[in-house]
Structure 1
Amino acid sequence: MQILDIIKKKRDGNELTAAELQFFVTEYTKGQIPDYQASALLMAIYLRGMTAKETSILADSMLHSGDVLDLSLIPGIKVDKHSTGGVGDKISIPLAPLVAAAGVKNPMISGRGLGHTGGTLDKLEAIPGFNVNLTEDDFIDQVSAIGTAIISATQDVAPADKKIYALRDTTGTVDSIPLIASSIMSKKLASGTNALVLDVKTGSGAFMQDFDDARSLAKQLLDIGQAHQTKMVALITNMNQPLGVKVGNTLEVEESIDILKGQGPEDTTKLTIELGAYMLVLAEQAKDIQTARTILQEKIADGSALAKFKELVEAEGGDVRVVDNYQLMPHAKNQIVVTALDDGYVNAIDTNDLGMLVVYLGGGRLKKTDKIDPGVGLVIHKKVGDYVHRGEPLVTVHANSFDDDQVQSSIHQAYHLSAVQPPAEELIYEIMEE
């Protein structure tokens, strides 16, 4: 079997067999297929798509490219959450300790930044000393001891996904539904989870900008989960504007802590609680969603969610003092306030453009070897539906090196003002279950 034949077959729009997909995953993981040929196949998949059968086989091949963790010694139903990513989406960081404080065992294997969206691991590494590279044994021990852990996939857990994930970021193949679905499910199933809550984002700042595409992705994810006897729920959520008010690694950790202190923005707080409520119900820690919401709100109010976050940070080597002193994390040297050029309501925001501005400032990756500058980012002052007067701040840009004209132009082009207030934005569009 030759990889060139497989590339040509998919290029021509034909269905790949289980043997061909398994060959690709196995040989690429071993380093026998070079990046340029793997990239060619990924682009062929991006352009030609995959059948449901192919996607399920690809996910299963990536899942079994390494170890599948056995968490059976940890009592209870293990529940994880995954987001398809968006600008300002820091929900995993407050969510993991919040549900752990409510008694849910949450083993979370997370990823790094892809394209215009930030990665949970990059954000957590803004905390001095935070180590996401735990061994499998340490991961299991930590989940058992404190209820949660957020780590990078080890070399032994879904190693194929780790290689393909990094390559997709630099080859223009990030927003492929079958590649996203197989990547998510291989990693999540390999982590030993029993149930999974999905946050599938749609809108101008999401990989799936079209609602129907987001729904299709959710359906493929649910189908793969069902084939592996994993209980799942998918929420399709709004990414037509940044989530919360802070974008960038350090800034998003700050907002995450604010949520756990009960001081977070309304949208990020609401989505954290809503996703957490479904996790509690799947874990059989609450009889219904409303009961689960009440439990989580109480965990924030009584300080136990914040205390659990401190446990998480300490367990993974981070400096717990950041909870009370955000200045212990890296910050950019410069703050550029970009103001409105006209009066009007914010009618729309090109959220992808804001995400890419953070990438160009150093807060994301244009190629997989790029270093992240954790201190750069954006603080959003005006969101969709807000009225702004000429000269009022739209965004404060946190930067180290920058071109002032480019920064100003990027923000002004991303914001669209009108004389009429637009309808209120929904946060959650649809909930899909198996």
Structure 2
Amino acid sequence: MVEAYDAVDVIRIKRDRQKLPMDAIDWVVDAYTRGVVADEQMSALAMAIFLNGMDREEIARWTQAMINSGETMNFRALSKATTDKHSTGGVGDKITLPLAPLVASYGVAVPQLSGRGLGHTGGTLDKLEAIPGWQADLTNDRMMEILEDVGAVICAAGSGLAPADKKLYALRDITSTVDCIPLIASSIMSKKIAEGTGALVLDVKVGPGAFMKKEADARELARTMVDLGTDAGVNTVALLTDMSRPLGLTVGNALEVRESVEVLAGGGPSDVVRLTVALAKEMLEAAGVKDPDVEEALKDGRAMDSWKRMISAQGGDPDGPLPVATDTHEVTADEDGVMTEMDALAVGVASWRLGAGRARQQDPVQAGAGIEIHAVPGDKITKGQKLFTLHTDTPDRFDRALDSLRGGYTIDPQAAEGTGARDDVVLDRIS
């Protein structure tokens, strides 16, 4: 087979800050997937893209080339409209758990293909695997059956969806080209468009605990992804949401499942409820449901019924006991004052060090490990008051977790009560 391009020529084009020809993009993504383009060559191209960027047409074509590298799904056989959500990841971000069954309770299908955690950000599948018997891996046929019957599925994405992205992501991880907006946007959207959902709501986190630390970068990523979805015929909107401090009052797998069930029971932390409600309204309106009263669906038990059916359909026991870590350690306040800050990254890294997360994809996680948060910015604090409870099965992890937490929160003896309280978790909407 005579190749249409040479990898060196494609690298040179982007190195020299020129626009990649559309057929060159098609060729290089396909050739890399086939093994014709070597890892070191794709590394050089990824770095050239990182340094010199891509325009909207290049990003759209790159995304389509990654979609074309594998299989695509479609849900046209379902009797329901489909809508999906993707979060760019954060600390304590358990929103998918209450959100999917809440939206499904309105007769809309939610095919939520999710991933596992890496580093300080948690993975939805890791959280759900804390539930006894629950299975992440489903055949496409079984997925369609559950969507038609229950309306919501949260499962692992099949290896056939955008395999070029899986290969390229692993390469970006070891070549310091992960935080590149064209490559992030095309990575996320190639999988989401390949899933075949009719509508997509993006939760783009911004702040110390998020992938995007600066609002301008998060806004650019959201705009890029909304454009990619729109260009591909998917009804796409994005919410910019706050990740300066953890979401909710728990970080860690079983702890976050417990908190999600509290939300489905009509309770739970107010920031988790507000974001769940905001995203549910966007998803339902994109699917054609007008003026849904989602707060009522959380209170009257409809969403909880959907949750139990969704968990049972994937082999889980929704009423089964969740894992509990063998050891705990309490962190208490050294002085009186008002908590004015809490660093999401510090809390996320501490939870990871306790065993709730992994450093490499193949590492195991502890289902019961993590952190309970007992005070939040704006709260009045008294000396000796409990601030955090750390959970782990390996108590020799406590010291490193505590190292991360030190400096991760501020108690100001002079501040007025309410200083630093979270105004709203949703910062903006981009469509």
Structure 2-normalised TM-score? 0.91
Q: C-alpha separation between the residues in 1 aligned to 2:120 and 2:269?
A: 22
Letter in 2 for 1:317: G
Q: 1:408 aligns with which of 402, 405, 416?
A: 402
> Once superposed, what is the RMSD of the aligned Cα atoms?
2.2
Which of 307, 315, 318 pairs up with 2:305? 307
- Are 2:91 and 1:87 equivalent residues in the alignment? yes
Pairing partner for 1:128 from 129, 132, 149 = 132
Q: Match of 1:112, SS?
A: coil
Match in the other structure for 1:420: 415
Secondary structure, counterpart of 2:319 in structure 1:
helix
Aligned CA distance change for structure 1 residues 45 and 356 (closer, same or farther; 3 Å): farther
Structure 2 Cα separation of the partners of residues 121 and 38 of structure 1: 30
Q: CA deviation at 1:213?
A: 0.9
* In 2: Cα distance, 1:173 partner to 1:360 partner: 25
Q: Pick closer, same or farther for the CA change 1:12–1:317 going to 2, 3 Å.
A: farther
Task: Give the Cα–Cα distance (whole angstroms) in 1 for the partners of residues 335 and 178 of structure 2.
Answer: 36
Structure 1 residue aligned with 2:78: 74
2:407 match: secondary structure: helix
* Cα deviation 1:194-218 (Å, max 9, x = unaligned): 1111111111111111111111111
Q: Is residue 266 of structure 1 aligned with residue 265 of structure 2?
A: no
Quick one: which of 307, 315, 318 aligns to 1:317?
Answer: 315
- For residues 410 and 281 of structure 1, do their structure 2 counterparts lie closer, same or farther at Cα, with a shift above 3 Å needed? same
How far residue 303 of structure 1 moved from its aligned partner, in angstroms, is: 1.4
Structure 1 CA distance for aligned equivalents of residues 48 and 332 of structure 2: 43
Match of 2:228 among 209, 212, 224: 224
Aligned pairs for 1:361-376 (under 5 A) are 361-376=354-369
TM-aligned CA deviation for residue 359 of structure 1: 2.3
Match of 1:197 in 2: 201
Q: Report the structure number with the largest CA radius of gyration.
A: 2
How far 1:368 sits from its partner (Å)?
A: 2.5
Any idea what SS the aligned residue of 1:321 has?
A: coil
Tell me which residue corresponds to 1:112.
Answer: 116
Corresponding letter in the other structure for 1:412: R
CA distance in 1 between counterparts of 2:409 and 2:224 reads: 34
For residue 247 of structure 1, what is the amino acid of its counterpart? Answer: V
Mapped contact 2:330–2:386 kept (Cα < 8 A): yes
1:122 partner SS: helix
2:295 equivalent in structure 1: 297
Q: Does the CA contact (< 8 Å) of 1:240 and 1:350 recur in 2?
A: yes
Aligned-partner residue type, residue 427 of structure 1: V
Q: Which amino acid is the alignment partner of residue 407 of structure 2? A: Q
Look up the match of 1:393.
386
Relative to structure 1, is the Cα distance of residues 131 and 170 closer, same or farther in structure 2, using a 3 angstrom cutoff? farther
What do residues 208-262 of structure 1 show as CA deviations (whole Å, max 9, x unaligned)?
1111111111110111011112112211111110000111111111111111111
Is the contact between residue 108 and residue 191 of structure 1 (CA under 8 Å) also seen in structure 2? Answer: no
Distance 1:171 1:144 in 2: 42
Contact 2:339 2:420 in 1 (8 A): no
TM-score by length of 1: 0.90
Contact conserved, 1:338 with 1:411, CA < 8 A, in 2?
no
Gaps of 5+ in 2: none
Secondary structure of the structure 2 residue equivalent to 1:416 = strand
Q: Runs of 5+ in structure 1 lacking a partner? A: none
Q: Residues 67-104 of structure 1: CA distance to partner in whole angstroms, max 9, x if unpaired?
A: 21121111232111111111000101110011101121
1:152 and 2:146 matched:
no
1:336 aligned onto 2:336: no
Distance across 1 between alignment mates of 2:42 and 2:369:
32
SS at match of 2:135: coil
Of 193-202 and 341-350, deviating more is: 341-350
SS of 1:336 mapped into structure 2? strand
> How far is 1:334 from its partner?
1.2
Q: What count of residue pairs does the alignment treat as equivalent?
A: 422
For 1:218, what is the secondary structure of its paired residue? helix
Asked if structure 2 preserves the Cα contact closer than 8 Å seen for 1:169 and 1:367, the reply is no
